[in-house]
A and B are shown apart, each in its own frame.
Chain A
Amino acid sequence: DTEVTQTPKHLVMGMTNKKSLKCEQHMGHRAMYWYKQKAKKPPELMFVYSYEKLSINESVPSRFSPECPNSSLLNLHLHALQPEDSALYLCASTTPGGEGKLFFGSGTQLSVL
């Protein structure tokens, strides 16, 4: 299994809503990432988890809250988002330290109304 699975594929939420994005991989990877991609722009790193511990937070606003409950799962909890947070949210994984290929999921397209 060489897939990174993200759910949901599409999400529409209001600014007062609380929602969560989910990412799952069964490749035994111990490094997992959240990226944000605005339309026609390159992906930008948000968070890096290594061995289930947060190792990088790229100064992301607290309305985005990541969680890594185990080595296969990565969640991104969303609360009080703004319309400018509308974007494609991508999850990725790889083997930590080995600087290997990143495997990306197909993303969650988020619209904040």
Chain B
Amino acid sequence: KQEVTQIPAALSVPEGENLVLNCSFTDSAIYNLQWFRQDPGKGLTSLLLIQSSQREQTSGRLNASLDKSSGRSTLYIAASQPGDSATYLCARSGGYNKLIFGAGTRLAVHP
């Protein structure tokens, strides 16, 4: 069974901290690994996509890495802000962009 696990499940930090969110998956035969942000009751916003041939992607204060051999991806958020508060989901793609999601990390950044 293909599984995606995210650690920690929840995180509460003061503004300004650098954060690391972890994602692990059981099947290394992936097409890509995607990170999303979801605000309560809303849809998902794509943050970063790492193709299976890539090692990392960066966008602004966000950096995501992918290690297929160990089945791990990490999302690094630099200098966190209250506006970063949301649930962060990682998802692996196994063809047809059929995504299998982790349960997410609920992040709260307080001023």
A residues apposed to B, CB below 8 Å: 4, 6, 31, 33, 41-45, 48, 50, 55-56, 88, 90, 92, 94, 96, 99-107, 109
Question: Interface digits, B32-45 against A, CB 8 Å rule (1 contact, 0 not)?
Answer: 10101000011111
Contact A99 B42 (CB under 8 A): no
Residues 54-93 of chain B, each 1 if its beta carbon lies under 8 Å from chain A, else 0 = 0000000000000000000000000000000000010101
A100 in contact with B49 (CB, 8 Å): yes
User: What is the count of residue pairs linking A and B with beta-carbon distances less than 8 angstroms?
Assistant: 61
Which A residues lie within 8 Å of B45 (CB)?
104
In the complex formed, the residue of A with least CB distance to B4 is A42
Q: What are the residues of chain B within 8 A of A109 when measuring CB–CB?
A: 41
Is A42 a contact of B102 with CB atoms below 8 Å?
yes
Give the complex CA separation of A83 and B93 in angstroms: 30
